[in-house]
Structure 1
Amino acid sequence: MVVLVIACIVVVLAALLHVYIFWMESFGWRRPAVWKRFNVADQAQADSNRDLAYNQGYYNLFLALGAIIGVVLIAADVRSAGWALVFLSVGSMLAASLVLLTLGRKFAAAALTQGLAPLIGLVLSVIAVSTA
């Protein structure tokens, strides 16, 4: 039961990080402090990437919502559907962070930031399901 609670907390933390990423990509993108975090060189490049960032932000939001709804379903004892959403959501978050690594070492910190909580949440979720 303790592992289940910790797993759900970590999954929610991963989701909240992705909600923040959603905000940065979809609404904060015009701010230099935001686009510089994504290794965008200048305002012209940020402007040309704005629509892509906006769309990508929503992907992050939907992954976050899936994880949060999954945790809510688990708490409501609709565990099969809840775990399915949790595994899909944090698994996708983790996979996206691994894809980010394919872009080179300069993205390693971002990939770690984006993928660590989903990895921990995924491992703890597997343990929680297997010991239930």
Structure 2
Amino acid sequence: MIIVAAVFVALAAALHVYIFLMESVWWTQPSIWKRFGLASQADADTTRSMAYNQGFYNLFLAAGAVLGLTLWFTNVQQAGVALVLFSTGSMVLAALVLTTSGRRYLRPALIQGTLPLIGFVLFLLT
């Protein structure tokens, strides 16, 4: 079961790296800012520094999950579990917070939160 749990955690990390890229690297591209519900290039330019910062939060959560998996599989299991649970738990909580922004954010919250939730639960069961 640890392999299945690790796959979900790794997928959650990969998704959060992709979110980092969208928010911190590609933010001012129209296809990206439209995906986040912005109305204009001016809005994207205005929110660029906020998105840049937020993207790094996603990257750090992904890094924590990957480091946790690395520690787990190199027999530093207690630290690995702690990092995996903290990182995936934070991803899930961030998705829950996103749902408080309005109904239109339910789908993005489910996308952002489902993989880490599954990984979190499976890691708890191992």
Tell me the TM-score normalised to structure 1 length: 0.94
In structure 1, stretches of 5+ residues that fail to align are none
Amino acid at match of 1:91: G
The residue correspondences of 1:66-105 to structure 2 (distance < 5 A) are 66-105=64-103
**How far did residue 40 of structure 1 move?**
1.1
Equivalent residue number for residue 23 of structure 2: 25
- The number of aligned residues is 126
**How far did residue 79 of structure 1 move?**
0.4
Amino acid at match of 1:82: G
Report the 3-state secondary structure (helix = DSSP H, G, I; strand = E; otherwise coil) of the residue aligned with 1:39.
coil
Distance, in Å, in 2 between the alignment partners of 1:80 and 1:39 is 41
Structural RMSD (CA): 0.5
* Alignment deviations for residues 84-116 of structure 1 (CA, whole Å, 9 cap, x no partner): 000000000000000000001100110000000
Distance, in Å, in 1 between the alignment partners of 2:82 and 2:123 is 11
Equivalent residue number for residue 111 of structure 1: 109
Distance, in Å, in 1 between the alignment partners of 2:102 and 2:44 is 20
Report the 3-state secondary structure (helix = DSSP H, G, I; strand = E; otherwise coil) of the residue aligned with 2:39.
coil
In structure 2, stretches of 5+ residues that fail to align are none
Distance, in Å, in 1 between the alignment partners of 2:86 and 2:35 is 27
Report the 3-state secondary structure (helix = DSSP H, G, I; strand = E; otherwise coil) of the residue aligned with 1:29.
coil
Amino acid at match of 1:68: V
Identity of aligned pairs, percent? Answer: 54
* Equivalent in 12, 15, 21 of residue 14 of structure 1: 12
